Structure 1
Amino acid sequence: MLNQDAIHAIILQALNNINDERGPDEQLTVGLDTRLFGADAVLDSLSLVSVIVDVEGAVSEQAGRDISLTDDRAMSQDVSPFTDVNSLTAYIELLLSEKA
């Protein structure tokens, strides 16, 4: 199973991929507290979808099983799992532990 550090690395790489597509004046500050969704989010909706798709693919590949980050369960959480890097990591860990 992927550990927390591996999941962080996947998410941060997805954010760095967004930076690779942006100009020098449009770079995101990438870190564990980077806000992905909601107030003070650094991503627009299209960039968030891109990050989610990248993360889903990489986690599924490295874990050896498919996961879905955008199911009804994710959308019905009191606190969105897409709030920041740490909350997304925790949600992925939860999904992976349930399917273990």
Structure 2
Amino acid sequence: MLTKENVLEIILRALQNLNDELGDDEKFEAGPTTPLFGPNATLDSLALVSVIVDVEGDVSTALGRSISLTDDRAMSQEISPFDDVQTLLNYIMILVNEG
């Protein structure tokens, strides 16, 4: 079973991997309040997609079953699961606990 801490580590690792690919002037601080989507977003849309793909793959592998972070359910949430790291973490935990 994945814990909230495990999932947070997966998200932060994906953000760190992205950070490792960026130039020094583009690097950002990654933590629970890091904005991922919206007007204050730290990431551009391509970077966000990359992080989502990495997180989705790592969480699916750790769970031993596939999850989708970009299905209709995610897109219809009142608050986007991609607003910041914490909202993504909370949304993933909902998916983890459903299985």
Question: Normalising by the residue count of structure 1, what TM-score does the alignment of the two structures yield?
Answer: 0.96
What residue is the counterpart of 2:12 in the other structure? 12
Deviations 1:20-66 (A, max 9, x none): 11111110111110000012000000000000000000000011110
What residue is the counterpart of 2:2 in the other structure? 2
Identity of aligned residues (%): 60
SS at match of 1:52: helix
The number of residues matched between the two structures is 99
Distance 1:96 1:4 in 2: 10
The amino acid across from 1:51 in the alignment is: V
What residue is the counterpart of 1:21 in the other structure? 21
Distance 1:2 1:89 in 2: 12
Give matches, 1:75-94, under 5 Å: 75-94=75-94
Distance 1:19 1:54 in 2: 13
The amino acid across from 1:7 in the alignment is: V
SS at match of 1:26: coil
Listed as ranges, the gaps of 5+ residues in structure 1 are none
- What value does the CA root-mean-square deviation take over the aligned residues? 0.6
Question: Normalising by the residue count of structure 2, what TM-score does the alignment of the two structures yield?
Answer: 0.97
- Deviating beyond 4 angstroms after TM superposition, the runs of 4 or more aligned structure 1 residues are none
2:47 matches 1:47: yes
Distance 2:39 2:94 in 1: 24
SS at match of 1:25: coil
